[in-house]
């Protein structure tokens, strides 16, 4: 297991309480923006990502700005499911608890009307869905026992309909949204809040090179909207908010029309 | 981790309701169960904290992300010798079980806490003191022998003469060196179920301390209540309670009042309010104005009086109102107890009380006691006095309170004072290093390495104070 950096979080005491968040997929895009935003809101952060250098840079930036250790980096590949319980335990011990868990890891590959690539599809499923299951199962078990906690899954508006351009991405996000809904139905009675975040087009690596995008928002705006929903303990959030109404329409377009569209 | 235990997690709270930590919570019923859990901990790479009644105000029995081993279910009295007053108990036996076992035979625990809910394992781990510390010393001074299970798997028997270094370090060792499995104590002979009690007011801090000094030699127990809200000429005013045992033959009704049915606490207040509901009535007064009102009223109605009181009623004031700590509200309370050499108490507490008024952060309850030094490794005692102050936490006062307590710490350290680990929640490693001294800390570390080479036993308190 990769060793985290050596900085130690300040001790939690009655007069120095802290909320702690774990963020999987934190090195760039919405994840990095969320990390900055949550640090500003006073959270201590365990930041996880595959790309260690970017992660360390982000941690240093956050800690320097805060003037104390507020973020710790943990290098982790979400495809390495077996390492998850031990890593969660390590984070739990080092952070002194977990109040908020965010699964943000996600990949997308540009497909096309006539492209089929099993290897890339499997990778999409592995990162977007199976990695989420590997993390959210133990986290849900933990929060259920503690009868507190907040889970956030960064899904996508893309999970609401299967579209011609990227079937495996749509499927992975649809499955993630459905899994999060199931967790919500299971955990609300235990006082655990589950939030499904559904961004539209966000300026991130994921979007680089994509065609036909519109209403593109910066990652910081998406992070602000998601943090607001976290504070309000919402069950879902669209960012920007107008996607809620757009998706209401899109969800209800009859199939005989939808299959003729090419977006 | 071989098998995830996340579904065994529980949020474990301190007594002050000011801190809760997630931990794997286990309540074994016997020492075999303890053994199994220690093995599980080793296999899973988890640390273990032993918890008794959970009566520490701070993080002494919390272990974020580790195992909390609740031993209050291992509570058998193993042997009681009414002729000699020697009793052997498991660690989960409470002070309540203890006194209720021995009093009918004419004995009483030589040192008790302000609540009878505490377990003997906890009392020993923290080496508690009572209202007679200046005379009877700490709880540990009445231990004839104990057996402890070390994390190495070894079982050691310790007494003042046998394994003396471990005896003096495990007692007061915060449960960080080993787990007590059997504790043998010497009880004190009683000739009545009653104590002669005298209560009287003291008008200011100077008289408060002088009166303690004057009466300490004649009193078997001596405790002061301090009105920490009063300023001006009344700074440090309060009330002292002195209690004395009755001599042999002095109580013609001893046979009757040594019985348990005589040793009762009040069940209702003002003839109306059941004591279990009283904390709801206290809540509205838990603010600066309310505390001033209650403290002032208590002082003004205080008159010199002498009366006889059952042991249980005198000692266990904190049990009069079950759940009293809940009256401090959702954010809970912290207790700050400073121990000062007798010559420095007056100036330092004067300054501390002034400072608390200046910050508008008065303690709602202050309790003073007289102490004497002891020979235990991690000792909090001094030849002097202690003042325990309760502070309510609110979302708005945290940083101000933290800043003020830091100032208090510096003042106490400069005056050669000490702190107690079952109470203060903000003590830093450098503070502990200053009052224990490097040599003591090093001695403790050497013993820790010998008894627990893999650091199996750890609590939040240990990590905070010993700087892990």
User: B141, B166, B189 — which closes off a domain?
Assistant: B189
Place of tokens 């599980």: B40
- Tell me the pLDDT band of A209, cut-offs 50, 70 and 90: low
Contact B22 A98 (CB under 8 A): yes
Same domain, B58 and B81: no
Which residue on chain B is closest to A142 by alpha carbon? B6
A-to-B residue pairs, Cβ atoms closer than 8 angstroms: 87
Residue B438 in any domain: the answer is no
Handedness of CA B44, B47, B52, B53 (dihedral sign): negative
Instruction: Check which CATH number belongs to the domain holding B278 and give it.
Output: 3.30.70.2520
Q: Which residues contact A60 (CB under 8 A, 6 or more apart)?
A: none
Q: pLDDT tens-digit profile of A62-84? A: 999 999 999 999 999 999 999 99
Same domain, B100 and B241: no
Which residue on chain A is closest to B334 by alpha carbon? A14
Residue A8 in any domain: the answer is no
Which residue on chain A is closest to B22 by alpha carbon? A97
Can the peptide bond before residue A104 be classed as cis, meaning omega within 30 degrees of 0? no
Which residue on chain B is closest to A92 by alpha carbon? B65
- Whether B43 contacts chain A with CB within 8 A: no
Residue B245 in any domain: the answer is yes
Residue B435 in any domain: the answer is no
Residue B336 in any domain: the answer is yes
- Tell me the pLDDT band of A5, cut-offs 50, 70 and 90: very low
**What's the number of domains chain B is made of?**
3
SS3 A98: coil
Which residue on chain A is closest to B465 by alpha carbon? A11
Q: Which residues contact A2 (CB under 8 A, 6 or more apart)?
A: A52, A74, A75, A76
Token pair in block for residue B167:
């005896």
- CA gap B194, B178 in Å, rounded: 38
Per DSSP, helices labelled H in B273-396 are 278-282, 288-301, 311-315, 345-358
Same domain, B224 and B299: yes
Contact A144 B7 (CB under 8 A): yes
Residue A6 in any domain: the answer is no
Same domain, B83 and B108: yes
Which residue on chain A is closest to B47 by alpha carbon? A93
Asked if B425 and B408 count as a contact pair (C-beta separation under 8 A), the reply is no
Handedness of CA B269, B272, B278, B284 (dihedral sign): negative
Instruction: Check which CATH number belongs to the domain holding B129 and give it.
Output: 3.30.465.10
Same domain, B458 and B348: no
- CA gap B344, A88 in Å, rounded: 49
Q: Give me the residue from B6, B18, B21 closest to A97, CB to CB.
A: B21
- Order of strands, sheet of A71-75, starting from the edge strand that comes earlier in the sequence: A71-75, A43-49, A19-24, A100-103, A150-154, A193-199, A236-239
Same domain, B104 and B180: yes
Same domain, B217 and B333: yes
Residue A59: pLDDT above 90?
A: yes
Same domain, B295 and B308: yes
Residue A41: pLDDT above 90?
A: yes
Same domain, B128 and B49: no
Question: Best of A1, A12, A15 to disrupt the B interface by mutation (most B CBs within 10 Å)?
Answer: A15
Contact B7 A146 (CB under 8 A): no
Same domain, B250 and B180: no
Q: Give me the residue from B401, B405, B464 closest to A11, CB to CB.
A: B464
Contact B22 A138 (CB under 8 A): no
What is residue A7's predicted lDDT score, i.e. its pLDDT?
62
Asked if B205 and B346 count as a contact pair (C-beta separation under 8 A), the reply is yes
Residue B4: pLDDT above 90?
A: no
Residue A60: pLDDT above 90?
A: yes
- Tell me the pLDDT band of B271, cut-offs 50, 70 and 90: low
Task: Please report residues of B whose CB lies closer than 8 A to that of A186.
Answer: none
Contact B64 A97 (CB under 8 A): yes
CA distance B65 to chain A (A): 4
Contact B11 A14 (CB under 8 A): no
Q: Give me the residue from A15, A17, A146 closest to B9, CB to CB.
A: A146
| Residue in A43, A74, A103, A169 annotated catalytic | A169
SS3 A35: helix
Task: Please report residues of A whose CB lies closer than 8 A to that of B9.
Answer: 142, 145-146
User: B189, B204, B221 — which closes off a domain?
Assistant: B189
Q: Give me the residue from B10, B47, B401 closest to A145, CB to CB.
A: B10
- CA gap B436, B53 in Å, rounded: 27
Task: Please report residues of B whose CB lies closer than 8 A to that of A144.
Answer: 7
User: B189, B218, B240 — which closes off a domain?
Assistant: B189
Same domain, B255 and B365: yes
Q: pLDDT tens-digit profile of B320-370? A: 888 888 899 999 999 999 999 999 999 999 999 999 999 999 999 999 999
Based on the residue annotation, tell me whether A238 is a catalytic residue of this protein.
no
Residue A95: pLDDT above 80?
A: yes
CB contact residues (below 8 A), chain B span 328-347, against chain A = 332, 334
If you average pLDDT over every residue of chain B, what do you get?
Answer: 94
Residue A208: pLDDT above 90?
A: no
Same domain, B246 and B351: yes
CA distance B50 to chain A (A): 17
- Tell me the pLDDT band of B468, cut-offs 50, 70 and 90: low
Residue A39 in any domain: the answer is yes
Task: Please report residues of B whose CB lies closer than 8 A to that of A97.
Answer: 21-22, 64-65
Which residue on chain A is closest to B398 by alpha carbon? A15
Residue B443: pLDDT above 90?
A: yes
Instruction: Check which CATH number belongs to the domain holding A74 and give it.
Output: 3.40.50.720
Residue B123 in any domain: the answer is yes
Q: What is the DSSP letter of A243?
A: H
Backbone angles phi, psi at A36, to 5 degrees: -60, -45
Contact B425 A15 (CB under 8 A): yes
Q: Give me the residue from A15, A96, A145 closest to B9, CB to CB.
A: A145
Token pair in block for residue B57:
């105000």
Residue B124 in any domain: the answer is yes
Residue B274 in any domain: the answer is yes
**What's the number of domains chain A is made of?**
1
β pairing state of A100-103 and A236-239: unpaired
Q: pLDDT tens-digit profile of B170-196? A: 999 999 999 999 999 999 999 999 999
| Lowest mean pLDDT across B2-11, B143-152, B265-274, B413-422 | B265-274
Domain span at A126: 19-258
Residue B436 in any domain: the answer is no
Question: Is 0.90 surpassed by the pTM of this model?
Answer: yes
Task: Please report residues of A whose CB lies closer than 8 A to that of B18.
Answer: 14
CA distance B166 to chain A (A): 29
- CA gap B333, B327 in Å, rounded: 9
Strand partners, A153: A103, A196
Domain span at B266: 194-430
Contact A15 B393 (CB under 8 A): yes
Q: pLDDT tens-digit profile of B364-405? A: 999 999 999 999 999 998 999 999 999 999 999 999 999 999
Q: What is the DSSP letter of B113?
A: -
Task: Please report residues of A whose CB lies closer than 8 A to that of B47.
Answer: 93
Question: Best of A4, A8, A10, A11 to disrupt the B interface by mutation (most B CBs within 10 Å)?
Answer: A11
Asked if B257 and B251 count as a contact pair (C-beta separation under 8 A), the reply is yes
DSSP secondary structure letters along B37-57:
HHHHHHHHT--EEEESS---S
Residue A1: pLDDT above 50?
A: no
Residue A218 in any domain: the answer is yes
Task: Please report residues of B whose CB lies closer than 8 A to that of A16.
Answer: 398, 402, 426
């Amino acid at each position: 297991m990769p060793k985290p950096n050596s900085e130690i979080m300040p001790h939690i005491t009655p007069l120095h309480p802290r909320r702690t968040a774990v963020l999987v997929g934190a090195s760039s895009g919405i994840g990095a923006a969320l990390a900055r935003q949550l640090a500003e809101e006073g959270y201590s952060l365990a930041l996880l990502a595959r790309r260690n250098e970017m992660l360390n840079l982000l941690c240093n930036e956050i800690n320097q700005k805060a003037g104390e250790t507020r973020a710790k980096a943990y290098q982790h590949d979400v495809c390495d499911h077996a390492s998850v319980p031990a890593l969660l335990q390590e984070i739990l011990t080092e952070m002194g608890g977990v109040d908020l868990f965010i699964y943000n890891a996600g990949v997308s590959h540009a497909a096309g009307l006539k492209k089929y690539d099993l290897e890339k599809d499997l990778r999409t499923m592995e990162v977007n869905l199976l990695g989420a299951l590997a993390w959210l199962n133990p986290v849900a078990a933990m929060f259920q026992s503690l009868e507190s906690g907040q889970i956030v899954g960064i899904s996508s508006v893309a999970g609401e309909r299967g579209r011609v351009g990227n079937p495996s991405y749509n499927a992975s996000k649809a499955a993630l949204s459905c899994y999060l809904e199931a967790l919500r139905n299971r955990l609300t009675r235990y006082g655990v809040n589950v939030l499904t975040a559904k961004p539209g087009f966000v300026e991130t690596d994921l979007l680089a090179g994509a065609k036909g995008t519109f209403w593109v928002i910066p990652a910081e705006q998406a992070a602000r909207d998601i943090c607001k929903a976290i504070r309000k303990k919402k069950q879902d959030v669209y960012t920007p908010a107008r996607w809620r109404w757009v998706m209401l329409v899109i969800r209800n377009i009859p199939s005989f029309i939808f299959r003729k569209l090419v977006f | 981790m071989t098998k995830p235990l996340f579904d065994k997690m529980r949020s474990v709270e301190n007594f002050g309701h000011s801190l809760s930590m997630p931990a794997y919570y286990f309540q074994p019923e016997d020492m075999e169960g303890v053994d199994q859990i220690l093995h599980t901990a080793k296999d899973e790479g988890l640390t273990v904290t032993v918890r008794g009644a959970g009566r520490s105000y701070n993080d002494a029995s919390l272990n974020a992300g580790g195992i909390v081993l609740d031993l209050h279910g291992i509570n058998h009295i193993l042997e009681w010798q009414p002729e000699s007053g020697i009793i052997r108990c498991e660690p989960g036996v409470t002070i309540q079980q203890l006194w209720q076992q021995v009093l009918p035979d004419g004995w009483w625990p030589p040192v008790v806490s302000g609540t009878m809910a505490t377990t003997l394992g906890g009392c020993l781990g923290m080496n508690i003191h009572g209202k007679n510390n200046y005379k009877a010393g700490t709880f540990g001074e009445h231990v004839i022998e104990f057996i402890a299970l070390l994390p190495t798997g070894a079982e050691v028997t310790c007494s003042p003469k046998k394994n003396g270094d471990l005896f003096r370090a495990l007692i007061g060792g915060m449960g960080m060196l080993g787990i007590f499995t059997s504790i043998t104590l010497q009880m004190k002979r009683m000739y009545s179920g009653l104590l002669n009690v005298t209560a009287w007011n003291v008008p200011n801090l100077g008289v408060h301390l002088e009166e303690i000094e004057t009466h300490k030699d004649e009193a078997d127990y001596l405790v002061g209540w301090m009105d920490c809200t009063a300023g001006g000429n009344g700074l440090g005013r309060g009330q002292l309670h002195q209690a004395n045992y009755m001599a042999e033959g002095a109580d013609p009704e001893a046979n009757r009042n040594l019985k348990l049915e005589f040793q009762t606490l009040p069940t209702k207040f003002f003839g109306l309010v059941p004591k279990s509901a009283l904390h709801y009535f206290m809540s509205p007064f838990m603010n600066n104005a309310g505390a001033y009102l209650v403290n002032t009223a208590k002082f003004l109605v205080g008159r010199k009086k002498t009366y006889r009181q059952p042991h249980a009623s005198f000692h266990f004031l904190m049990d009069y109102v079950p759940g009293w700590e809940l009256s401090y509200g959702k954010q809970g309370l912290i207790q700050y107890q400073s121990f000062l050499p007798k010559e420095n108490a007056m100036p330092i507490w004067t300054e501390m009380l002034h400072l608390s008024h200046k910050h508008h952060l008065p303690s709602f309850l202050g309790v003073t006691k007289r102490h004497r030094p002891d020979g235990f490794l991690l000792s909090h005692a001094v030849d002097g006095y202690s003042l325990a102050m309760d502070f309510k936490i609110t979302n708005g006062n945290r940083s101000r309170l933290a800043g003020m307590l830091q100032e208090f710490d510096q003042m106490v350290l400069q005056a050669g004072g000490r702190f107690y680990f079952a109470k203060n929640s903000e003590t830093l490693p450098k503070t502990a290093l200053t009052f224990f001294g490097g040599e003591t800390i090093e001695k403790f570390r050497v013993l820790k390495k010998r008894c627990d080479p893999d650091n199996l036993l750890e609590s939040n308190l240990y990590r905070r104070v010993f700087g892990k």
